[in-house]
Structure 1
Amino acid sequence: MLFSSGFALFYRDDIDCLLVVPKHVSRDDFFTTFQPMLQETQGVTQVTGVPEAYVPIIKSKISGVEIDFLCARLGLSSIPDDLELTDDNLLKNLDERCVRSLGGPRVTDQILRLVPNVDVFRDALRCIKLWARRRAIYSNVMGFLGGVAWAMLVARICQLYPNQAAGAIVSRFFTIMHQWKWPQPVLLKPIGDGPLGVKVWNPKLYPQDRLHRMPIITPAYPCMCSTHNVSASTQEIMMQECKRAAEVVARIFDEGAPWSELFEKHDFFSRYRYYIQVVAAADSAENLKKWSGTVESKLRQLVLKLEFVESLKLAHPYVKGFERVAHCINDEEVSEVAFNRISDAVINRTQEEAAKEPGYRTVYTTTFYIGLAIAPKQAGAVGPQKLDITYQTNEFKRICKQWELFDVSFMDLHVTHIKNAQLPNWVFEGGVRPVPKASKRPKPTKVRRKTQPPISPASTRRCGLGSLFGSSFSCG
């Protein structure tokens, strides 16, 4: 039996589907039997199984729509047509992965039952999700909030203001959320016990639960924190965005500003002066899908490590990776592409042209970015400010390459630091780099000197990126 387990409010939203199977069907059958059947289905263009994930999943794209399939094995000999997943007794004798897989549709059903007006809730949620996507803070895997967490926040505001229209709900959403006293949890109903002895979120009992920075608790049993991935950096970014949105909505209601101002696109690629660039490379699209997914799932650990660096104010991960395909004709080009240094010759070369060369190879890459906000220089500090993150980046690469399916013969990973001016054009909307705003600082007065020694290349480098990261910095 198939259940939908999410709020698909936009045409580009992905769809989560849950397959409920009887006890004689194993989880291995889900990947060894269902996945090949899915690959052979007409209209399916991508199928990738991730059996080792926290919630085992098959990611697919069907007719251009991204659909994620989960599987839950119930302790029943057969699945009745009128099965109700709201029955807590279904969770008896299930392993944790099946319980987590069942959580999606159970939480969705509970949310819709707990909001006073479903239509107002849906309209307000549609607005909030669009805003979160436009501001690049919609990604559970990167440490921001996912769709279910945003839905629970909107549902809580609907509960607080049961008679308000969707526009008022949106206004109060930002006003309340940017002032919320985290880590006070957001609850749609009191946390209760169920028929099973499984763990329920309880910071008084479990020390690990006290580490959650923005606890948003699912209403379905067993109640769990849906935001355990949130870090100090991503929390700060989301609170900044909520504060900005509250100010914009106030202008909309008070001054008649257009709603389009709320949905202005993010400025991630112009906000910071320095970025970390993470490039996952593979020899085929299928291998890259698995490898880049593994790297993406570990990026949050790199962000957590960077937060302990004294000279960093925050590490801001971008919510998605950029996929590229390069047709190379020699080893030198392959190496350059793996570092995301792609020449115009490679960019403009077609597969047909490259296939004529004896050294032809196709390289598939996914590139992720982390913006670095540098802490202000401390008063009284002497000399250039240094930032050494060699250990953090090397540890990240080591963790990624411990993946059991990693194969150095056709997979690669490179981590480098770059300036804003070194960002490739294709990270910007439409592939066009925005024109930087003119500086309004007054020009310094020129002073004539009798003699002025020439500036050496070494002294020039000391004023640039090298002085910030220090001579010991290395990511490669």
Structure 2
Amino acid sequence: MSTTNGALGVTPPISTSESNDREKEVTTTLMEELRRQGTFETEEEAKTREIVLGRLAAVVKKFVRRVSLANGMSEAAANAAGGKIFTFGSYRLGVHGPGSDIDTLCVVPKHVTREDFFDVLEEMLKETEGVTEVSGVPEAYVPIIKTKINGIPIDLTMARLALSSIPDDLSLQDDNLLRNLDERCVRSLNGSRVTDEILRLVPNVTVFRDSLRCIKLWAQRRAIYSNVNGFLGGVAWAMLVARICQLYPNAIAGAIVSRFFIIMYQWSWPQPVLLKQIEEGPLPVRVWNPKLYPADRAHRMPIITPAYPSMCATHNVTASTQMIMTEEFKKGSEIVDKVIVGTAEWSELFAKHDFFHKHRYYLQVIASTGNSDLQIKWSGTVESRIRQLVMKLEYVESLILAHPFIKGFEQVSHCISSEEVRAVAQGEVSEAVSKRRKEDIEGKEGASTVYSTTFYIGLLIEPKLPGSSGPRKLDISYPTTEFTKLVKMWEKYDEAKMGIIVRHIKSTALPDYVYDEGERQPRSAQKRVKSGKGSDKSNGTSPDMPNKKRRASNSLSESTSTMPLPMQPFKKAAVSSPTGAIVAATDTSSNGIYSSSIKDPSHIKSPHLPLGENVAVATSVAPVAP
């Protein structure tokens, strides 16, 4: 997106024509729909944000002053040390909505360390009036403090410059500021520098903001807005919209959105692009320059940040998430085409996703602890590894697609026995537990609270071949075993306090909390398995879950045939669970369509060709054989 020959981007505009009357009409209706959808905050909320940022700026200056004095600096030098905050992300771009967080960068002089940031500033925030939910994550890829000030969520990062003081008029545009900085500081600075460059490189900021607000809402509603889960994050969506604005510099929002879907569908189509075509020159729909960034060929949907040092904002995209986004671009393009000709409304573009209606089988990944603060860090660690599980699942035979959902579902369960604790940690929350309140367990011996976060991955399995007989088998034991090993490698993992379990369920067994009120379709009649002798109805086991233990068997066919297809409970670990501690065993054996053997990874075949040519799921069009 660097400027060349007066053009804003690596290629000249596709068209400099003004928008026509119809595009002006649909732009008006688009803005009306965005207001109906509640994407704009009120004037009062906007003022509250300004007040909050002012308070935060004052706290940062006090923080730098306190650290300066502790380092033996004079009163005058400590006062002059400064300290400044910069906003970036959706707030800086001007496309934030009600309740959205503010991405904030804290810039400090060279004598203030990252340890000071988490030891001193974090404590100062906890002591500040109106500040709640302060939680530092120093080990994150971009170290961060998450907090709320007057109800406004703040994500605070830090950059330590090689300067003795931070002046109030400091600008981050100068590349020389990056000299002699560690990688974490460079990454922290990059967020603010990229945001400013995007705003500098768009031909019309108002058109860009209106268009991006539309695309953000669409991506959120369609559940493809999540960098950590392999989709696109906020900065990637912003760069895509900025690029379309560059290609059509005189178009207004309605026209930009229409062209966005057409071009993005072409661009994301997972067909290999011939190396010769890339080297002959940048294609007009590409947002990066392959001559400048030859390493981009290793990424599936490379989108390169415009500020130095340039980075790929989409390195998390997997084969599965690429196909899912391609499908959504296609659907969006079809809807917008109808809007332009007057046969559809903008509201259809923002229809809610159908993730929990789309698949027959799902994986549940459940992270649990007995402490709310610890749960934030543990669930965040597990979520950051979900993409690795998706990538491993993509190499399983008979599995076409592994579709991760973009967020986890949090639950707080108050348990009165170790059996209930263990059941909750495995995703089995009984009606009695779900209705129990905190005060109901106070003072009771053996009672404890379980904090759990559940993530979902939809599984699309190859259809049964004509003429084949017997149950289908899908071996996911290897990827799930490797995934649990991966999350347990976290340096702060404590088996006595943290639980992780992966299990499969059918769509009919999905919990009610994943649906909006009235959204869930009536469940089909399910056969109930009668409780065996000694079963305990209050142990947290779902009534749809058979209570019989699995019969030990060395025969794969025998162990599979004796299990009903849906909802066989996983084995429970016979471990102690002290008050406030959660211990859940991860059982990667599976039933019904899943076999229980661990496959040699060298024998696992991918349903995708190396460059993701398998597009049948995304487009209903089989790839052409070479």
Quickly say closer, same or farther: Cα 1:302–1:145, change in 2 above 3 A: same
Deviations 1:119-154 (A, max 9, x none): 000000000000011011101101110111000000
- Asked if the contact 1:426/1:432 (under 8 Å) is kept, the reply is no
Tell me how far 1:459 sits from its aligned partner: 6.8
1:469 aligned partner: 594
Q: Give the Å deviation of 1:255.
A: 3.2
Which stretch of the first structure deviates more once superposed, 404-413 or 288-297?
Answer: 404-413
Q: Does 1:120 align with 2:245?
A: no
Residue of structure 2 equivalent to 1:393: 480
**1:19 shift after superposition:** 0.6
Aligned twin of 1:384: 471
Q: What percentage of aligned pairs have identical amino acids?
A: 60
Where does residue 307 of structure 1 map in the other structure?
A: 394
Q: 1:141 to 1:408 in 2, by over 3 A?
A: same
CA 1:462 to 1:91, structure 2 compared with 1: closer, same or farther past 3 Å?
same
- 1:371 counterpart letter in structure 2: G
Amino acid across the alignment from 2:97: F
Q: Deviations over 1:208-232 (max 9, x none)?
A: x432100001111111100100101
Matched, 1:202 2:293: yes
- Give 1 or 2 for the bigger CA radius of gyration: 2
In the TM superposition, what is the alpha-carbon distance from 1:377 to its structure 2 partner?
Answer: 3.4
**What is the alpha-carbon distance in structure 2 between the residues aligned to residue 85 and residue 155 of structure 1?**
21
Between the aligned partners of 1:463 and 1:74, the Cα distance in structure 2 is: 59
CA deviation vs aligned residue, 1:150-191 (integer Å, no higher than 9, x gap)? 000000110111111101111110011011166778766769
Deviation at 1:70, TM superposition (A): 0.8
Q: 1:115 to 1:436 in 2, by over 3 A?
A: farther
Which residue of 191, 202, 224 corresponds with 1:137?
224
Amino acid at match of 1:469: Y
Counterpart selection for 1:84 from 154, 158, 171: 171
Question: 1-side partners of 2:326 and 2:148: how far apart?
Answer: 33
**What is the match of residue 4 of structure 1?**
87
* 1:270 pairs with one of 343, 348, 357: 357
CA contact (8 A) 1:387 1:473 kept: no
Q: Find the partner of 1:323 among 392, 410, 417.
A: 410
Aligned to 2:100: 13
**Equivalent position SS for 1:305:** helix
- Counterpart CA distance in 1 for 2:123 and 2:474 is 48
**Residues 416 and 473 of structure 1: is their aligned pair in 2 closer, same or farther, counting only changes over 3 Å?**
farther
Q: CA RMSD for the aligned pairs?
A: 2.4
After superposition, the Cα gap between the structure-2 partners of 1:387 and 1:396, relative to the gap in structure 1 and judged at 3 Å, is same
Structure 2 residue aligned with 1:160, among 226, 229, 247? 247
Which position in structure 1 is the counterpart of 2:266? 179
Q: Is the 8 A contact 2:363 2:503 kept in 1?
A: yes
The answer to whether the 8 Å contact 1:187/1:218 transfers is no
CA contact (8 A) 1:425 1:431 kept: no
**1:440-451 superposed matches below 5 A:** none
How much does 1:239 deviate?
Answer: 0.7
Question: Of the candidates 354, 357, 369, which is equivalent to residue 282 of structure 1?
Answer: 369
Task: Decide whether the 8 Å contact of 2:560 with 2:595 is kept in 1.
Answer: no
Q: 1:78 to 1:277 in 2, by over 3 A?
A: same
Where do 1:32-431 residues align within 5 Å? 32-180=119-267, 202-203=293-294, 206=295, 209-378=296-465, 383-430=470-517
Contact 1:15 1:68 in 2 (8 A): yes
Number of the residue aligned with 1:454: none
TM-score (norm 2): 0.68
Cα separation, 2, equivalents of 1:239 and 1:436:
31
Cross-structure match for 1:450: none
How far the C-alpha of 1:109 sits from its partner, in A, is: 0.7
Contact 1:26–1:73 at 8 Å: present in 2 too?
yes
Distance 2:363 2:228 in 1: 18
Structure 1: which 5+ runs fail to align?
193-200, 438-456
Compute the TM-score of the two structures, normalised by the length of structure 1. Answer: 0.88
Partners of 2:512 and 2:329 lie apart in 1 by 29
For residues 286 and 162 of structure 2, what CA distance do their matches in structure 1 show? 30
Q: Which amino acid aligns with 2:455?
A: F
Distance verdict in 2 for CA 1:189–1:321, change over 3 Å = closer
**Matches of 1:282 and 1:151, distance apart in 2:** 36
Instruction: Find the aligned partners of 2:224 and 2:293 in 1 and give their Cα distance.
Output: 27
Q: CA deviation at 1:61?
A: 2.7
Query: How many residues align structurally?
Result: 444
CA distance in 2, matches of 1:351, 1:462: 36
Q: Secondary structure at the match of 1:469?
A: coil
Say if 1:144 and 1:343 are closer, same or farther in 2 by CA, change over 3 A: same
The one-letter code matched in structure 2 to 1:2 is: I
For the 8 Å contact 2:88–2:192, the answer to whether it is kept is: yes
CA-CA distance at 1:273 after TM superposition? 0.4
2:415–2:421 CA contact under 8 A, matched in 1: yes
1:284-308 deviations in whole A, cap 9, x for unaligned?
A: 1101001001001111110110011
> Which residues of structure 2 form unaligned runs of 5+?
1-83, 525-558, 568-590, 600-626
Preserved contact between residue 337 and residue 363 of structure 1 (Cα < 8 Å): yes
2:293 alignment partner AA: N
Mapped to 2, the partners of 1:370 and 1:222 lie a distance apart of 34
The question of whether the paired residues in 1 share the 8 Å contact of 2:561 and 2:592 is answered with no
Mapped contact 2:477–2:596 kept (Cα < 8 A): no
**Structure 2 CA distance for aligned equivalents of residues 300 and 432 of structure 1:** 28
> 1:428-455 deviations in whole A, cap 9, x for unaligned?
1137523479xxxxxxxxxxxxxxxxxx
Q: Match of 1:389, as an amino acid?
A: I
Write the letter of the residue equivalent to 2:475: D
8 Å contact 1:324–1:364 — kept in the other structure?
yes
- SS of 1:370 mapped into structure 2: strand
Q: Find the aligned partners of 1:175 and 1:338 in 2 and give their Cα distance.
A: 45
